[in-house]
């Protein structure tokens, strides 16, 4: 007679096995419940932006160093109201962070490369493997998965072509499952912006 794993010869689970199964089941249920709550909390927290919110966001996209008092003066709000609005936008994740935008030319990062990558296979594991290999590369500013002929699009910034060659030969081309790469060098910057369009602005 074949006995199921964790069962006694009589075909009944032992008490400790039942406790283990119950514990694992509860842990899974708790994890699922937490994921469910987090998902819907994000939905709840999402703000219905009004004209004042969009005004605050538009101003901060141009100058992230503006204080609540300075913003309030520009928008005709009280400092307290403006500060509260900013806090709500930050807590809702509309404002992710405030950063300094650096001039890459001043840092000697003169070469901007747009890279299309095609994988030999497009399964979930292959995409995750490429994601892991490229995510922490400092020269890769952006990485997107694509529909169509190519699987990934990278925005890469380097000091010179020799540095890009090293990135390509020593890293990018050695990532498992990479089938082909097409690199285009940016010649002239016509527009470069981090400001998102504000609906109604």
pLDDT (tens, 9 = 90+) of the chain, 201 residues, equals: 433 444 444 444 455 554 555 455 555 556 556 665 655 555 445 668 999 999 999 999 999 999 999 999 999 999 999 999 999 999 999 999 999 999 999 999 999 999 999 999 989 999 999 999 999 999 999 999 999 999 999 999 999 999 999 999 999 999 999 999 999 999 999 999 999 998 765
Q: Are 176 and 125 in contact (CB under 8 A)?
A: no
158 token code pair: 């380097």
User: How far is Cα 96 from Cα 92, in angstroms, rounded to an integer?
Assistant: 9
- Number of Cβ within 10 Å of residue 65's Cβ equals 8
Query: What pLDDT is attached to residue 198?
Result: 87
Residue whose entry in the numeric block shows the structure tokens 């932006």: 49
127 token code pair: 């995409």
* CA pseudo-torsion sign 18, 24, 28, 33: positive
Domains of the chain listed by start with CATH number:
51-91 (1.10.10.10), 111-185 (3.30.70.920)
Query: What pLDDT is attached to residue 125?
Result: 93
Query: What pLDDT is attached to residue 80?
Result: 97
This prediction has a pTM of 0.72
> CA 161: distance to chain centroid?
28
Residues contacting residue 76 through CB under 8 Å, at least 6 positions apart: none
Query: What pLDDT is attached to residue 153?
Result: 98
> CA 63: distance to chain centroid?
23
Q: Are 122 and 164 in contact (CB under 8 A)?
A: no
């Amino acid at each position: 007679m074949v006995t199921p794993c964790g069962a006694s010869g009589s075909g009944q689970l032992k008490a400790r096995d039942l406790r283990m199964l119950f514990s694992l089941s509860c842990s899974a249920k708790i994890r699922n419940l937490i994921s469910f709550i987090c998902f819907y909390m994000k939905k709840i927290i999402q703000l219905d932006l009004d004209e004042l919110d969009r005004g605050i966001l538009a101003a901060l996209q141009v100058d992230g160093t503006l204080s609540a008092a300075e913003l309030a003066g520009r928008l005709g709000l009280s400092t307290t109201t403006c500060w509260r609005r900013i806090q709500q936008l930050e807590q809702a994740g509309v404002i992710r962070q405030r950063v300094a935008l650096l001039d890459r030319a001043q840092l000697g990062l003169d070469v901007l490369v747009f890279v299309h990558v095609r994988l030999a296979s497009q399964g979930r594991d292959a995409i995750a493997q490429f994601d892991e290999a490229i995510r922490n590369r400092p020269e890769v500013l952006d990485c997107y998965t694509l529909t169509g002929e190519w699987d990934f699009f990278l925005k890469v910034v380097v000091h010179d072509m020799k540095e890009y060659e090293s990135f390509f030969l020593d890293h990018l081309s050695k990532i498992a499952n990479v089938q082909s790469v097409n690199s285009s060098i940016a010649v002239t910057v016509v527009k470069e912006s981090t400001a998102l369009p504000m609906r109604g602005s």
